[in-house]
Amino acid sequence: MDPRYFFQGKLAREEAASAFLATLLASRADFRAFFFQQLHDITPERCTALTKADWKVKTEADQVDVRMEAGADSVLIENKIQAGAIQQDQLLRYYHHELDALAPPEGASEPTTRLLMVFLAPGSQSGSGEVQAVRESERYRSGVDVAVRLSWDALGKFPIASDDKDYAFVVGGFACIRVAIENARQVKFPVDTTRERVVAVMSGAHELLRTRLPRVHLQPWRGSDFEQLFTTGTNVTLWADAVFDPMNVVNGDALRLKLRTQLKLSAKGRKQPELKAWWTALAAAQQLEVPGVGVHTLNAKGWAAREADIEGSPAELQRRIADAIGLVFTALGDRLVG
């Protein structure tokens, strides 16, 4: 089996890496044992117990990249292959979400589920702050839960015999992940101090939308002067850009941005006669009204586009961008994913 196809085309590299990891965790007891052995913050006794457990493995469940469940234990793995994609306090938010879900009814006994939060990242240091934030949380159940950082480098050292039936899949998969990590390091638009603030705004908006609109899959992208969220697998493609001027983006505690939203019928949508007729009529009218956001005008490239200045605190901008994208999705209704 050749794993390269997981890492080609439009499938996001982190999603492909998560699927590869989940496949190994679900299908190979020796890899599960190796995985738990790399988590040096758990005791040898617990490592042995975790290794012997009968695990159910899921991907992209409740926003978590990889989730494992067995008896009273839950393992949540947040996977990153690009250090620049780390969203501040993301692991902490997932931990608090799990605690909220475990909260017993009033008068009931405390839950017995133990949480093992794993931040999987490239290199030797990226993601350490994410783990530290969980450990320093007032809600952290020390002695019950564990938060730990793990590197792809460590997992890539999994020993497998050359005559093993899965040898090509395992070795090839880790090779693809190493290439993806190296390519991510050679980014065209590095995240400097200024861009980092814009990245944080769009990452926060992305998190809000993942909670509000779990059916719609958004991916991040970046250009020379913008950070973008775009839809995948939808009938109508949306590009939402936070455009910034590096010399004029910071205004005290506030940020100045332009929110650019662009819509176009996707290749998937063009195969549906009703949607194609709808878009043809829209193109003839040269505009699309999105209630609460504004008029999107057809541009020379065939996109219905709108751009507006926005300014505010990072938290305010996160909400405004998420609200605007949500209103676009509401205006599209069933056309988006129906």
What is the rounded average pLDDT of the residues 13-29? 90
User: CA nearest 326: which of 189, 216, 222?
Assistant: 216
Residue 273 burial (10 A CB sphere; 0-12, 13-18, 19+): exposed
User: pLDDT at residue 235 above 50?
Assistant: yes
DSSP H or E run through 146: strand 146-151
Give the pLDDT score at 274.
93
With beta carbons less than 8 A apart as the criterion, state whether 73 and 50 touch. yes
Which of 96, 316, 88 is closest to 203 using CA atoms? 88
Mean pLDDT within 214-220 = 84
Q: What is the pLDDT of residue 1?
A: 58
What are the CA-CA distances from residue 55 to residues 61, 75, 117, 279 (Å)? 15, 10, 16, 47
How would residue 106 be classed by pLDDT, with cut points 50, 70 and 90?
A: low
Q: How many angstroms separate the CA atoms of 242 and 221, rounded?
A: 11
The 10s digit of each residue's pLDDT in 62-74 is 778 899 999 889 9
23-63 per-position pLDDT tens digit = 999 999 999 999 999 988 888 888 998 989 999 999 877 77
Give the alpha-carbon dihedral of 12, 16, 18, 24, to 10 degrees: 180
Most confident of 9-13, 189-193, 304-308: 304-308
Q: Is the pLDDT of residue 190 over 90?
A: no
Region 81-91 average pLDDT: 72
Looking at residue 3, what is its pLDDT? 58
Distance CA 18, CA 68 (A): 12
Q: Distance between CA 301 and CA 239 in Å, rounded? A: 13
pLDDT of residue 11: 47
Confidence bin at 10 (pLDDT 50/70/90): very low
| Contact indicator for 223, 205 with CB cutoff of 8 Å | no
**Antiparallel, parallel or unpaired: β 73-79 and 114-121:** parallel
Res 188 pLDDT > 70: no
CA distance 311 to 17: 36
Q: Please give the domain boundaries of the chain with CATH numbers for all domains.
A: 3-185 (3.40.91), 193-337 (no CATH)
CB-based contacts of 58: which residues, under 8 Å, 6+ apart? 22, 66, 67, 68, 69
pLDDT score of 162: 93
The predicted pLDDT at position 88 comes to: 67
| DSSP state at residue 234 | -
Contact 230, 239 (CB under 8 A): yes
Which helix (DSSP H) or strand (DSSP E) does residue 33 occupy? helix 29-37
Q: Are 308 and 258 in contact (CB under 8 A)?
A: yes
Mean pLDDT of 159-174: 92
Q: What is the pLDDT of residues 144-164, one digit of tens each?
A: 899 999 999 999 999 999 999
Give me the chain's average pLDDT, please. 87
Given phi > 0 = left and psi -120 to 50 = alpha, else beta, which region is 316? alpha
Task: Supply 65's token pair.
Answer: 């990249």
Tokens of 37: 């052995």
- Measured from the Cβ of residue 124, the count of other Cβ atoms closer than 10 Å reads 10
Q: How far apart are the first and last CA of the chain?
A: 34
**Mean pLDDT value of segment 231-246:** 91
* CA diameter of the chain: 69
Q: Describe the chain by its helix, strand, coil percentages, rounded to 5.
A: 45, 25, 30
